[in-house]
Amino acid sequence: MKDLIEGILKFQREEFPKRSALFKHLATQQHPTTLFIGCSDSRVLPELLTQCEPGDLFVIRNAGNIVPAYAVQPGGVSASVEFAVAGLKVRDIVICGHSDCGAMTAVAMCKCLDHMPAVEEWLEHAGGARRISLARPHASDRARVDDMVRENVIEQLAHLRTHPSVAQALAEGRVDLHGWVYEIESGMIDALDGRTGKFVPLLEYPEVTATQAPA
């Protein structure tokens, strides 16, 4: 806690004055262009990763960067998605998985989660990705987890499409979907090409999106 307080004081002393005009502008309004759905993992910082300023991203974070399919009684993720798309009118939605994801490791390696029943139930939203990944051969445990991370991004994008606000925005052509996987050690990102269903280096294919599902 001491470190956090010292960080706040440093922010107020050094960083806030540099952006005082921006914060004054943001005090009564926000117009983020992107909804970023990422994992709660402490190593994944959306604003640092994308080099965005305050007000640029509307962020949802949870274990496994999961978006449950739309239900009759929507939860917090569904409400946040709806607000971002229908209320804030974001133009892009990113679902970002990452390497060495603890949630996806638990799913891929069939780890017992009896001591964390809430986590176990939450990760059922990655059940489709789990079945696809487990059906494939993998050269190593790391390869198995990496594959699970990618399949999970694909499944969560599919879930995202079930949300009425997203479906309408897609039909009207006013939002694009993006599936990313962030490699912590290298800082590189692979992006899902919706036309092929394959992940490609974002550095080489900066225009790729996941909006168009593969035929």
* Catalytic positions, written as ranges: 39, 41, 43, 98, 101
What the block records as the tokens of 113 is 């989660």
Helix ranges (DSSP H) in the chain? 2-10, 20-26, 46-50, 76-82, 102-108, 117-122, 127-134, 141-161, 164-171
CA distance 140 to 143: 5
CA distance 189 to 204: 10
Residue pair 128/156 in contact (Cβ under 8 Å)? The answer is: no
CA distance 204 to 21: 36
CA distance 58 to 46: 10
CA distance 20 to 31: 17
**Element at 37 (helix H, strand E):** strand 34-39
CA distance 100 to 91: 29
At residue 191, what is the residue type?
Answer: A
